[in-house]
Amino acid sequence: MSTVGTPKSAEQIQHDWDTNPRWKDVTRTYTAADVVALQGSVVEEHTLARRGAEVLWEQLHDLEWVNALGALTGNQAVQQVRAGLKAIYLSGWQVAGDANLAAQTYPDQSLYPANSVPQIVRRINNALQRADQIAKIEGDKSVENWLAPIVADAEAGFGGALNVFELQKAMIAAGAAGTHWEDQLASEKKCGHLGGKVLIPTQQHIRTLTSARLAADVCDVPTVIIARTDAEAATLITSDIDERDRPFITGERTREASTARKTASSRASPGPRPTRRSPT
């Protein structure tokens, strides 16, 4: 009987978490046994996502910075890699404006179908693979790595933890190397340049990130999970339930039941400055 796709045991997964430098300082609130239980009898190989995640992680540690311009077509990505870029970025506002599966021109408010970004990730990877194949046939070695890792915008997750889990799996299936998740309320999501942004409590955003990591573990891919925050400018938050958020809350409430909060520039008293979180 074939062993292709046979899942690792919980012991093997736990050993990797404990000994692999990739997982240093990464905290999981679930067990290796939980991952195995969610994998079923066969784990699909996601070569592009795994390879891209490993390359992106190396770039983040070996290079001073990683340049990645936004691409919303396969040909744009090919031209960027040909010009020397080491990674590709896929922005949600680009997808909203001109590359979503609803064939609409939307503002940056997560109005487009949730599978739009994974579809563009797949399209970009197809184009990069074709460019790589042509280069190999022609003996062209001018580009060191055509299969540049793709960092994809997952917005605020398009819902709760289950939506995040499914979206992360779709990103991996399409070949995304990294995904980033913001701490806005998904149903009220707005472009970072607009007013009226509503944050979710810190503990809820941690659940988002945990769900994304769980999905990546189930797929057996070391996806680079990036946390984004709009805490620098947002003036609303859904709840004061998390004590870590309370120093920034004014106590006022809106008609929509959101709680008002101080921005970094308007706080009356000194305190920890909200920062952009690191990739894991």
pLDDT in tens, 69-119: 999 999 999 999 999 999 999 999 999 999 999 999 999 999 999 999 999
Q: CA dihedral in degrees (195, 196, 199, 200; nearest 10)?
A: -160
In a domain, 20, yes or no: no
Assess whether pLDDT exceeds 50 at residue 149: yes
In a domain, 146, yes or no: yes
Mean pLDDT of the chain: 92
Compute the 3-state secondary structure of the chain and give helix, strand, coil in percent, each to the nearest 5.
40, 10, 50
Catalytic (active-site) positions: 191
In a domain, 219, yes or no: yes
Class of residue 152 by CB neighbours under 10 A (exposed 0-12, middle 13-18, buried 19+): buried
CATH of the domain at 143: 3.20.20.60
pLDDT in tens, 235-276: 999 999 999 999 999 888 887 767 777 775 554 444 443 433
In a domain, 36, yes or no: no
Residue 62 annotated as part of some ligand binding site: no
In a domain, 87, yes or no: yes
pLDDT in tens, 164-208: 999 999 999 999 999 999 999 999 999 888 888 999 999 999 999
User: Residue 179: which domain range?
Assistant: 44-230
pLDDT in tens, 105-143: 999 999 999 999 999 999 999 999 999 999 999 999 999
Domain count, the chain: 1
pTM of the model: 0.91
